[in-house]
Structures are given as structure tokens and as C-alpha cells.
Amino acid sequence: MTRWLAEYAWLPDHAEPTPDVLIEAEGGRITAVTPLVGGGAPAAGVEVLGDAVRLPGLTLPGLANAHSHAFHRALRGRTHGGRSDFWSWRDEMYDVAARLDPDSYLALARATYAEMALTGITCVGEFHYLHHGPDGRPYADPNAMSAALVEAAAHAGIRLTLLDTAYLTASVDGAELVGTQRRFGDGDALRWAERVDAFRPENDHARVGAAIHSVRAVPAEQLATVAGWADRNGVPLHVHLSEQPAENDACRAVHGCSPTRLLADHGVLGPHTTAVHATHPTSADVGLLGESRTGVCLCPTTERDLADGIGPARRMFDAGSPLSLGSDSHAVVDLFEEARAVELDERLRTRRRGHFAAAELVGAATVAGHAALGWGDAGRLSVGDRVDLVTVRLDSARTAGVPPVGAFFAATAADVTHVVVDGRTVVADGRHLTVDVPAELHSAIAEVTA
């Protein structure tokens, strides 16, 4: 048995953190969570052994990064010159994609996922579409890139849901993939399913889910094939949705309806589906997403970086869509920043304060994100759940004097000191135990940008 004594811990359904909580675990599962009453005195029947690992600061459940494209990490700080937009950024992204192979992608993803571990992310949803070799020729193992990502997450010490992405066309009207995009394509949805069926990672830390890149990239008549595959296999289904007004316009021109309506009509929406971004939904779209209990993954720092806009987060949440968070393009990897941006961007949009309670933001970063990735037994400090612990110091220049309930509005990823994933310590004293993160990021990025 392992025990941790958290100075503060954020327990499920609590509006604010609880002081002096003893967390006990065995076999990667939490076996007891015991608040010690009266300023540290053990509750009746609880013996605090000297072997309990003390966690000064605020301990949270594991953070889930529900939307990642690992290779975009190589673009950080490289796309800020001059006037550019989402579409010109995308061309630069394709240049990096063109250079990757399974070995270089393993190195880049390992360093990127290790950076995530340092920031308290215990599980990542990798929206993976870089499937094939140059010119679109499959590798000898057509899932070699997927295997590289699974291995990368294992090295970094975090869990992974590989959201294998169907990416078949270049535009809503069905234009063929060209250039680097050919590496993304499987031809049609049946061949996509055949390839994904053949991939069965044996590691416990990884699971396979499905993704539709967007209504631009999967023809309407093939949407149900991907959705049906996800449904039959009981796995999460993710889809980029209305990130750009241009996608809405193109969908209306070709199909006479919004992207959300198109997805609804082809059986894509539902409680196991997560719409990523949903930045420009109509009021009717918000209703369709909420009524179907489709989740929404917000990626505020990427949406900010790409000048996408601000989605109606509170309206979607109130309509019935659980909210999760993703670092997406990794311009920033910091779920504290993503979480508070949900509230702060809403303030900018509405010019009013106070839309989300701190506990709701914590829920988006933890339990909702894990649920969106198919890990229903993670993201809460509760008995029976996976032992994921993320400790944030409350004595840094940023957090000193901040009440624990306000930590999400003050801390940054740099304040994470201790990370446990499935009972295993991955980060201690702010250092990754097995990966030299800055050095590996430097060399992996140099290799694909030189």
C-alpha cells in the first residue's frame, strides 16, 4: 500500500479543496480518501504512518488533455511573424508533417508527452491523422505511426487514447487530398476501419478511439461508417467542429446545413462523441449538441493563437454538453491556463464576470476530460478510481498567498511539483524522472525543422 498526505486535496463534488487529506492506494487504485479533521489530527481509526509521502500544496486528480496533435509542438514560436491566419498556419504545419517518420515522430511525441506530464497531464487524447509515408504510401506496418505514439506515451509515463482519425478529402465538396495531405488518407472510410481494426496496442496505458477529422475531410455518406465503427467498439468518437466560419459556409454551400446538423443527420452526435472547438455554432447547433449530450472540447489557447474566435462555452454547458479541455496545437501546454481561459474568454465575450465556478473548471480539466477519452475511472480522488495525483505548489511567486480555491486562477504549469499516474510517480520536485524534457524537445524539434 502507498499513502500520500496532501496538504490540500480537491475531492469530488466539493466547491473548494479540503485540508489534510490522506490518500491510500494499492495496485494503481485508490483504496481510501480520508480527510483528517481538526487541523491534522487523524480521524478515529486512521493511523498516519511515517511512510506517507507528504504533498505540500494543492493535490488535484489527474488532468486530461482531451485534444492533442503531438507534432504541432514543433511549431511553437515559429508561426508568429507577419499577418497569417489559420490557413497559412496550416501550410507551415504541413511542412513539419512532411518530414516525420515513425522514428522521428517517436522522439518528438515522447518529448511532447513528457512535457505534458511535467504540467500535470496524466492522460492525452491524440487526434492522430499522420498515418502514412511520403506520397501516401502505407508503411510496411500501416499503423507504424500509431505504434510510435503509443510507445511515446509509455516512455513519458502518461495514458493515451489514440483517436485514429479518418481524413479522406481536402474540402467539403470532396476534393482529393494533395501534397502532404496524402499521408493522412486511407481512401475511404471502410479502408480506414480495416486499418484501425488491425491495431491493437497491448499496453494497459493506451486505448484506441476514433475521430472524424471534420466535415471537410470525411464525405457525408461516409460519416456513418466511422460513427458506426466507434459505436460497435464502444470507444469515444471525436470530431473538429466549426472551428472556422469558412467551414460553416462551405458546408452550407454543399449540403445546405450547418456542420453540426450534418453530423446529427448522419448519427455522429451522442454522449460518446466530443466536438472539438465548436467555436462558431448557431443557436440550433448548441441545441443539437446539448440535447444529444455530445461533449465539447475547448482549446482556448489554440483558438486564441489561430485567431479562431471564442465559442459560447456557458451556453453549450447549460444546454447539456460536458466541457473538456485540450492544448491542441501546443502553442501552450498548460491546462491551468486553458481552464481559466474558459471563464476569462467568456468575460471578454459578454463583458460580465462570474460564469463558471472554480470546481466546474476543475471538472473540465479532470473528470470530464478523462470521460471524453473513455477513461471513466479516472479524474476524481475517489475510492476505486485510478491513482492519478497532481500536486501544485502554493508557495511559488505566483501562488504564494493565494487561497487554495483560487489556485486555478493563479497557478501555471510550472507550479506542478509532483505527478503520479496509475500509482507510479512520474514527476517529483518538478522534474520528470526518466526524460530530460527540454533537451529532448530541443533535439526532436531540430530534427524536423532543420
Show which residues are catalytic.
277, 328
Interface region with Zn ion, contact rule CB under 5 A, candidates 48-56, 165-173, 177-185, 324-332: 324-332
Question: What's the sign of the alpha-carbon dihedral 346, 351, 352, 353?
Answer: positive
- Smallest distance from Zn ion to CB 94, Å: 14
Size of the site for Zn ion (CB under 5 A): 1
Q: Which three cell numbers stand for residue 281?
A: 455554432
- Smallest distance from Zn ion to CB 89, Å: 12
Q: Where are the beta strands (DSSP E) in 232-294?
A: 237-241, 273-277
Q: By C-beta, is 328 or 337 nearer to Zn ion?
A: 328
Q: Which three cell numbers stand for residue 215?
A: 466535415
- Smallest distance from Zn ion to CB 407, Å: 28
SS3 content of the chain, % helix, strand, coil (to 5): 40, 20, 40
Residue 334 contacts Zn ion per CB under 5 A = no
| Contact string 346-375 vs Zn ion (x = CB under 5 A) | ------------------------------
Interface region with Zn ion, contact rule CB under 5 A, candidates 180-188, 210-218, 225-233, 320-328: 320-328
**Residue 48, CB half-sphere, CA atoms under 13 Å: how many?**
20
Q: Which residue is nearest to Zn ion (CB)?
A: 328
d(CA 149, CA 144): 9
Q: By C-beta, is 25 or 341 nearer to Zn ion?
A: 341
Residue 328 contacts Zn ion per CB under 5 A = yes
Q: By C-beta, is 247 or 328 nearer to Zn ion?
A: 328
- 328 DSSP assignment: B
Q: By C-beta, is 214 or 391 nearer to Zn ion?
A: 214
- Smallest distance from Zn ion to CB 441, Å: 20
CB 171 within 8 A of CB 222: no
Q: By C-beta, is 93 or 426 nearer to Zn ion?
A: 93
Helix (H) or strand (E) holding 197: helix 189-197
- Smallest distance from Zn ion to CB 193, Å: 21
Interface region with Zn ion, contact rule CB under 5 A, candidates 84-92, 203-211, 322-330, 362-370: 322-330
Residue 303 contacts Zn ion per CB under 5 A = no
| Distance in angstroms between the alpha carbons of the first and the last residue of the chain | 48
Interface region with Zn ion, contact rule CB under 5 A, candidates 153-161, 193-201, 288-296, 321-329: 321-329
CB 364 within 8 A of CB 324: yes
**Residue 341, CB half-sphere, CA atoms under 13 Å: how many?**
25
* b/e code 334-344 from CB counts within 10 Å (16+ = b): bbbbbbbbbbb
Residues that bind Zn ion (CB under 5 A): 328
